[in-house]
Structure 1
Amino acid sequence: MKRIGLAWQIFIGLVIGIIVGAIFYGNSDIAKYLQPIGDIFLRLIKMIVVPIVISSIIIAVAGVGDIKQLGKIGGKTILYFEIITTVAILLGLLSANIFKPGAGVDMGHLSKTDISSYVDTAKTTEQHSFADTIVNIVPANPISAIANGDMLAIIFFALMFGFAISAIGEKGKPVIRFFQGTADAMFYMTNQIMKVAPVGVFALIGVTVSKFGLSSLIPLGKLIITVYGTMFFFIIVVLGLVAKIAGFSIFKLIKTLKEELILAFSTASSESVLPKLMEKTEKLGCPKHISSFVIPTGYSFNLDGSTLYQSLAAIFIAQMYGIDLSITKQISLVLVLMVTSKGIAGVPGVSFVVLLATLGSVGIPVEGLAFIAGIDRILDMGRTVVNVIGNSLAAIVISKWEGKFNPNRNMQAAEKVNG
């Protein structure tokens, strides 16, 4: 009998979780049993992310050894990220203006959710300038950056360390072998952890549905449909066009990442698939030094789904309150989002915090966020999928741009990973 593939196992876990959550809707006891299982799974994934990123970047950089080449790749990567995230913000605004999901919403029938836990974080980020973001890339203490999971600072340290190993030549060989062994061991751990992904997904989605229920989605149904419809358009049309220009198929990428996309959707966590994204894009034909650099950096600079949602949600709240935002204010919103969405990467509930820090600047009541906080988890699941596809495609685009994409490099290995 043919064994069920991991993607199907995760999907079955997702469906069973939704059914169990719907059956036990409103029963807080079910969350007590399921939440620890989901939390353990997410912690297992987060446990291996930092060691994989550090070891992969150090090996890749030490292998390239050319600071000019990596600097050029870095410049192209940031330029590409800026263009794509700006398109995502503009598409969110356009969609909100066309479909008007907030028009005619009866706020009396919407349940308010407490957002006080996000407010303090938002206050500290309102003063967070672009210059602060650049300064914070350089860690004062790399151990502290690793402990806090500060991805940009970790990447910077790993890049510098990789160059240093390359510069000392023969003396650096044992260090490279150590990190190569570390990376191999971590990828082995990833594959073992992924075997329990269906159970983790079942638990996490079960808790979500048991808390919110399916009926809670109806009052904000128009927002959910608009957000998911716009994200679908962004993936198929915008990213599809980018992939076509780069000589790649967006559908081939989605098919290759099917397991990771179901997992990202279920857990609403991009981190849960980071190790496998680096591995699979490399198997598709991206050089190690590009996939190891572009994908982790994209987790801070290229959150397409999050930026698209932020612009759409901002206009939704304005429409809900009957505020007509002028073109000037909408352009101002775009400019503010371009900075704030990158300035606080890695903060829990980042999309919410960015909106709290941004809405006041264009005269939209931040209290409006309390009405959509209850369904934020449902929207976050979609945002995460877009972020994952966007970052994976970025690695392919930069590899093609550099003329280093070679699908034959790991053809046999790729078949093994996807088979």
Structure 2
Amino acid sequence: MPISATVSTPRQIAGRKLPQWASILIAMALGVGTGYMIFTHYSTDDAAQIAGYISLISDIFLRLVKMLIGPLVFSTLVAGIAHMGDAKSVGRVFFKAFGWFLIASVVSLLLGTLVANLLQPGHNLGLTLPAVNAAADLQAPSFTLKDFVIHLVPKSFAEALANNEILQIVVFSMFFGVALAALGDVSKTLTRIMNELTHVMLKITAYVMLLAPAAVFAAIAATVATNGLGILSKFAVFMGGFYIALFILWCLLALAGFIFLGRRIFKLLALIREAFLLSFATASSEAAYPKLLDALDRFGVKRKISSFVLPMGYSFNLDGSMMYCTFAILFIAQAYDVELSLGTQLTMMAILMLTSKGMAGVPRASLVVIAATLGHFNIPEAGLLLILGVDAFLDMGRSATNAAGNSIAAAVVAKWEGELLSEADAAANARALDAELALALDPTHKD
């Protein structure tokens, strides 16, 4: 019996007339309209207060998702590793995934640097620059290779779960899953319990994801009500340049997927559209995690691969965030006429390769990483004040890119491992998932 689906339903399930991706698009449009009306009809203070109440819906939704992430990652990853059979298989998948992440990170950093140098978005802004000594009120702690390696290992599994430290949860889950696999028949009962826990977590996730359209509406409405749309015209060159770079990155990711998956990449892109839109609208790649698992199930990626690669990707494969860091730093340097040589820019990218790891789940993490990097190259930290007003709109694009990049990575690794179902088998599995989801959402059904 396949593992329960987590999210979207076809039109006939639960009486819905629209697929959820269409509901999310409509919610985004309504959110923009509602937010703009609030912004234009109320004072700045009143609009911010109203936005605070509206954002309660999206805040609750994101808290519910964060509540699920730790147990969901643990249960799916342990069950997946236990079914791999041995530590050798785990190590092979790990190094294949890590190799993909490393190449994707280098491409993202290079692309952000190249586009920022070509478009020069920071020159001739026509805006008053913040004073060089102005404070951006962002804590930018130092982050070294030693810190990163130590941070990999949790002091306490309970603490890692409480803080949603995905990478630490992955490390513990790997040990736990490998141990289960090594014990063989002795661990059958516990392995079955982990499988049952996975079913429970996915069923809870199905309920939570019903709130997605409402959360999208609230998130967009609150953002527009607070910032308005006029700010977009002031930073049109900066934002336009960044989204051009993102579009190129999307094309490169799709091309890489096409090389390894062939025409099936288009099916995958269609399946992840809900996850893409949700992460875009909520500016949270974490919100898309359950939907990505479901999309990969329907695509034919076996759960033992997707439950292993996706959590790793949330710490090692943040393509959109990494590209944004290089693009934003060069934008600030250009605005303040700070010349950065080619060697300096390559050094900056090397630093970002390290400091960007583990930023998933940390509020405004990209800004913190940028602030930490600015100090290394004597670029005014005050430049962060330039982009704070539009960061929410940019965060949407980079979060959606992170989600898309991780799903493609999982599919490619599954293909390499021979753990990708054929198209016919994947279609049959998707129908079974739809049937399970119909039962999960049927209030008259009792297990």
Label 1:50 to 1:99 Cα distance change in 2 as closer, same or farther (>3 A).
same
3-state secondary structure, aligned to 2:261: coil
3-state secondary structure, aligned to 2:339: coil
Q: Distance in 1 between matches of 2:372 and 2:87?
A: 37
1:107 shift after superposition: 3.3
| Misfit runs of 4+, over 4 Å | 109-112, 114-117, 415-419
Structure 1, residues 22-67: CA drift from partner, whole Å, max 9, x if none? 0001322321320211111111111111111100011111111210
The answer as to 2:293 corresponding to 1:278 is yes
The answer as to 2:63 corresponding to 1:47 is no
Match of 2:113 in 1: 93
Question: What pairs up with 1:331-370 in 2 under 5 angstroms?
Answer: 331-342=346-357, 344-370=359-385
Q: Which moved more, 1:187-196 or 1:333-342?
A: 187-196
> Residue type matched to 1:200 in 2?
A
> Residue type matched to 1:245 in 2?
I
Label 1:147 to 1:311 Cα distance change in 2 as closer, same or farther (>3 A).
same
**Which of the numbers 81, 85, 96 marks the counterpart of 1:61?**
81
1:251 shift after superposition: 3.3
Q: Distance in 2 between matches of 1:229 and 1:149?
A: 32
**Which of the numbers 155, 158, 166 marks the counterpart of 1:151?**
166
Q: Distance in 2 between matches of 1:234 and 1:367?
A: 29
**Which of the numbers 381, 395, 401 marks the counterpart of 2:396?**
381
3-state secondary structure, aligned to 2:244: helix
Aligned residues: 412
Identity, % of aligned positions:
37
> Residue type matched to 1:29 in 2?
Q
Question: What pairs up with 1:265-304 in 2 under 5 angstroms?
Answer: 265-304=280-319
- Conservation of the 8 A alpha-carbon contact between 1:283 and 1:409: no
Q: Distance in 2 between matches of 1:21 and 1:267?
A: 15
3-state secondary structure, aligned to 1:49: helix
Q: Distance in 1 between matches of 2:166 and 2:48?
A: 35
Match of 1:20 in 2: 34
> Residue type matched to 1:246 in 2?
F
TM-score (norm 2): 0.88
1:287 shift after superposition: 2.0
**Which of the numbers 31, 35, 38 marks the counterpart of 2:58?**
38
- Conservation of the 8 A alpha-carbon contact between 1:256 and 1:418: no
- Conservation of the 8 A alpha-carbon contact between 2:315 and 2:360: yes
1:367 shift after superposition: 1.2
Query: What are structure 1's unaligned runs of at least 5 residues?
Result: none
3-state secondary structure, aligned to 1:24: helix
Q: Which moved more, 1:103-112 or 1:294-303?
A: 103-112
Question: What pairs up with 1:92-111 in 2 under 5 angstroms?
Answer: 92-108=112-128
The answer as to 2:261 corresponding to 1:247 is yes
Q: Distance in 2 between matches of 1:132 and 1:48?
A: 27
- Conservation of the 8 A alpha-carbon contact between 1:45 and 1:193: yes
Label 1:248 to 1:130 Cα distance change in 2 as closer, same or farther (>3 A).
farther
Q: Distance in 2 between matches of 1:349 and 1:401?
A: 35
Label 1:110 to 1:266 Cα distance change in 2 as closer, same or farther (>3 A).
farther
Query: What are structure 2's unaligned runs of at least 5 residues?
Result: 1-14, 436-447
1:156 shift after superposition: 0.8
**Which of the numbers 154, 163, 168 marks the counterpart of 2:183?**
168
Structure 1, residues 138-157: CA drift from partner, whole Å, max 9, x if none? 11211111111111110111
3-state secondary structure, aligned to 1:246: helix
Structure 1, residues 302-349: CA drift from partner, whole Å, max 9, x if none? 000001111111111111111221111111111111111115444221
Match of 2:4 in 1: none
1:181 shift after superposition: 1.3
Match of 1:411 in 2: 427
Label 1:111 to 1:373 Cα distance change in 2 as closer, same or farther (>3 A).
farther
- Conservation of the 8 A alpha-carbon contact between 2:293 and 2:307: yes
Q: Distance in 2 between matches of 1:22 and 1:251?
A: 35
> Residue type matched to 2:115 in 1?
S
The answer as to 2:98 corresponding to 1:84 is no
- Conservation of the 8 A alpha-carbon contact between 1:115 and 1:373: no
- Conservation of the 8 A alpha-carbon contact between 1:310 and 1:351: yes
Match of 1:186 in 2: 201
- Conservation of the 8 A alpha-carbon contact between 1:300 and 1:346: no
> Residue type matched to 1:243 in 2?
G
Q: Distance in 2 between matches of 1:199 and 1:42?
A: 12
3-state secondary structure, aligned to 1:3: coil
Match of 2:237 in 1: 222
Q: Distance in 2 between matches of 1:109 and 1:253?
A: 44
Match of 1:129 in 2: 144
Structure 1, residues 238-268: CA drift from partner, whole Å, max 9, x if none? 1122112102344332211111111111100
- Conservation of the 8 A alpha-carbon contact between 2:314 and 2:358: no
Q: Distance in 2 between matches of 1:130 and 1:282?
A: 35
Q: Distance in 2 between matches of 1:110 and 1:117?
A: 13
Q: Distance in 2 between matches of 1:349 and 1:5?
A: 31
Q: Distance in 2 between matches of 1:213 and 1:279?
A: 35
Match of 1:390 in 2: 405
Q: Distance in 2 between matches of 1:161 and 1:371?
A: 46
The answer as to 2:321 corresponding to 1:306 is yes
Q: Distance in 1 between matches of 2:135 and 2:305?
A: 39
Q: Which moved more, 1:101-110 or 1:18-27?
A: 101-110
**Which of the numbers 315, 335, 338 marks the counterpart of 2:330?**
315
Structure 1, residues 3-40: CA drift from partner, whole Å, max 9, x if none? 11111111111111110100001322321320211111
- Conservation of the 8 A alpha-carbon contact between 1:307 and 1:337: yes
Q: Distance in 2 between matches of 1:31 and 1:169?
A: 54
Label 1:319 to 1:116 Cα distance change in 2 as closer, same or farther (>3 A).
closer
> Residue type matched to 1:14 in 2?
M
Match of 2:6 in 1: none
Structure 1, residues 126-182: CA drift from partner, whole Å, max 9, x if none? 2x2123212221112111111111111101111111112222222312211211111
TM-score (norm 1): 0.94
1:208 shift after superposition: 0.2
Q: Distance in 2 between matches of 1:298 and 1:162?
A: 19
